[in-house]
């Protein structure tokens, strides 16, 4: 190691830097950020957005979402999306019901486009 770094050689002959740079603290605590406010007082742990709705958004919005998801994946790694989850719609009494938004290929078209 150079530049005056202090190094320690492990039993396996590998050098480890003992003077690591401090990682800057985030500017906000996770419970103070905008998403915490957006979720409000719900107990939700996940945000589920139907693909059929996303694909109906204007292309500019879709691209912004894709860019943010790519950035999140780069920062936190692919393990965030490698899990296998199943989403099933339930009614107010907890019974399974059909989900008209589940078919992204044949989902309902939004008749009056709410997007600017």
Q: Which pLDDT value is given to residue 65?
A: 95
Tokens 């605590």 locate to: 29
Q: Which pLDDT value is given to residue 31?
A: 74
Q: Which pLDDT value is given to residue 44?
A: 86
Q: Which pLDDT value is given to residue 3?
A: 45
Q: Which pLDDT value is given to residue 24?
A: 56
Residue 108's contacts (CB-CB under 8 Å, 6 or more residues apart) are: 52, 100, 101
What's the pTM? 0.59
As averages over each run of 10 residues, the pLDDT of the chain (116 residues) reads: 48 53 60 84 87 90 94 80 80 91 73 60
């Amino acid at each position: 190691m150079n530049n005056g770094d202090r190094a320690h050689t492990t039993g396996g002959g590998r050098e480890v830097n003992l003077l690591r740079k401090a990682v800057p603290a985030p500017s906000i605590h996770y419970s103070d950020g905008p998403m915490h406010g957006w979720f409000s007082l719900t107990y939700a742990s996940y945000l589920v957005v139907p693909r059929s709705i996303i694909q109906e958004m204007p292309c500019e919005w879709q691209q912004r979402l894709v860019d943010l998801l790519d950035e999140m994946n780069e920062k936190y790694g692919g393990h965030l999306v490698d899990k296998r989850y199943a989403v099933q719609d339930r009614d107010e009494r907890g019974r399974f019901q059909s989900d008209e938004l589940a078919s992204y290929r044949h989902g309902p078209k939004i008749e009056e486009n709410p997007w600017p």
